[in-house]
């Protein structure tokens, strides 16, 4: 049977990854009880929204399970009181540093979703790809890099400001557990215009990458603005991408512009995963016939010119528009996106691009 003092000694070896100090030193361990081979205690976290809480709990459990005679460990969680937070919070404001949360984030794959022009449904493809990956059991985040035209939060029904942790911003979390960061979550009103020039937009994207505590993710989906603007350049030059997914529509004009986006990625040595043609057709609700609303598909022609595979041809679906407007994109079901997610995962390399600034 372990004694309380032994439990506390074991927990002294477990650090809070955000604050870099032991759980005991930070005053996070409370109500330690031992009963035969069973140990229980409470951890008081700086915020219950912390994306690293599962890691903290598991590290604490394993440390106590390593004690002789301990077979079962029960960990309860609560949020610190304001008084408890004030004991560990820096008394003097620390100077802002770029990338203060980078050492806390462990992101396996980073996928940017890009289009040549607006209006092709790029953001809805990015959102539904994230949903499909989440349904496959992956830990998923969405970084909304479309600073002047953010639509990701509305699709997921997110409206409240994200919580703030001791190190940086914490992403908002959807009903199914997808972590989201967008400028719209930080504005006083979601209708507020973001009238910023390129350097400010680039700075915001870098902060969303380096100052947000994403925690452990299998995939981070980055929703880029249309075109080859400063924002897209910033992402490809600053973020270690595993690949880019291109989204287009049947019109030849959309194909021409998406080819420009592909050339940009290639010039910056970023792997292009493949091409998705959105709004490819409309399935007649009565007979099921495919109606090519925007004309014949140009997907294969565009893909052949770029030497890329067509990973999906997605239909126009009024139900998707309704779900996105209602903030219910996670409730939309489509086998095509499950297949797309599997194909993207297969083609997404483990090797990350090397950001130009880091060379």
Whether 65 has a pLDDT exceeding 70, the answer reads: yes
Q: Tokens for 94?
A: 């620390």
- The arithmetic mean of pLDDT across residues 166-188, rounded, is 91
Instruction: Please state the pTM of the whole predicted model.
Output: 0.76
Mean pLDDT of the chain: 87
Instruction: Give the DSSP per-residue string, 227-286.
Output: SSSHHHHHHHHHS--SEEEEEE-SSHHHHHHHHHHHHHHHHTT--EEEEEE-S--EE-TT
Query: Of residues 208 and 267, which shows the higher confidence score?
Result: 208
Sheet holding 216-223, edge to edge: 172-173, 179-181, 140-144, 216-223, 106-115, 243-248, 272-277, 310-313
Instruction: Give the DSSP per-residue string, 164-225.
Output: B-SSSBPPEE-TT--EEE-GGGTSSSTT------HHHHHHHHHHHHHSB---EEEEEEEEPP
The CATH class that applies to domain 4-88 reads alpha beta
Q: What are the residue boundaries of the structural domains of the chain, listed by start?
A: 4-88, 102-358
| Secondary element (H or E) of residue 320 | helix 318-325
- The arithmetic mean of pLDDT across residues 328-338, rounded, is 91
**What is the residue whose two structure tokens read 């790029």?**
122
102-358 architecture in CATH? Answer: 3-Layer(aba) Sandwich (3.40)
CA pseudo-torsion sign 232, 235, 238, 242:
negative
Whether 93 has a pLDDT exceeding 60, the answer reads: no
Q: CB–CB of 183/204 below 8 Å? A: yes
Sheet holding 38-45, edge to edge: 29-35, 38-45, 72-79
The model's pLDDT over 180-221, given as tens digits with 9 standing for 90+, comes to 999 999 887 777 777 777 788 888 899 999 999 999 999 999
pLDDT at 95: 41
């Amino acid at each position: 049977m372990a004694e309380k003092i032994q439990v506390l000694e074991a927990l002294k070896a477990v650090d809070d990854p955000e604050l870099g100090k032991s759980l005991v030193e930070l005053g996070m361990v409370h109500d330690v009880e031992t009963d035969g081979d069973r140990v229980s205690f409470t951890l008081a976290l700086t915020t219950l929204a912390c994306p690293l809480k599962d890691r903290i709990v598991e590290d604490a459990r394993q440390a106590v399970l390593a004690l002789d005679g301990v077979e079962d460990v029960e960990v309860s969680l609560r949020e610190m009181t304001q008084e408890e937070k004030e004991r560990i919070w820096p008394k003097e404001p620390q100077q802002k540093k770029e990338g203060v949360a980078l050492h806390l984030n462990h992101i396996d794959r980073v996928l940017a979703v890009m289009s040549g022009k607006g209006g092709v449904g790029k953001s809805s493809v990015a959102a539904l790809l994230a949903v499909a990956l989440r349904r496959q059991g992956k830990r998923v985040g969405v970084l909304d890099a479309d600073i002047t035209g953010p639509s990701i939060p509305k699709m997921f029904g997110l409206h409240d400001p994200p919580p703030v942790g001791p190190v940086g911003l914490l992403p908002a979390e959807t009903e199914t557990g997808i972590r989201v960061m967008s400028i719209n979550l930080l504005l006083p009103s979601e209708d507020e215009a973001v009238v910023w020039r390129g350097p400010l937009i680039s700075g915001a994207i870098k902060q969303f990458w380096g100052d947000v505590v994403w925690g452990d993710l299998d995939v981070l989906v980055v929703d880029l603005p249309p075109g080859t603007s400063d924002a897209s350049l910033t992402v490809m030059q600053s973020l270690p991408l595993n690949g880019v997914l291109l989204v287009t529509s049947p019109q030849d004009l959309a194909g021409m512009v998406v080819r420009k986006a592909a050339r940009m990625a290639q010039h910056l040595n970023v792997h292009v995963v493949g091409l998705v043609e959105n709004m490819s057709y409309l399935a007649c609700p009565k007979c099921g016939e495919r109606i090519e609303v925007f004309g014949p598909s140009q997907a294969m022609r565009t893909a052949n010119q770029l030497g890329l595979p067509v990973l999906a041809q997605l239909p126009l679906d009024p139900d998707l528009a309704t779900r996105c407007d209602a903030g219910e994109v996670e409730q939309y079901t489509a086998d095509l996106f499950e297949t797309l997610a599997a194909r993207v995962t297969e083609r997404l390399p483990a090797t990350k691009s090397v950001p130009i600034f880091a060379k």
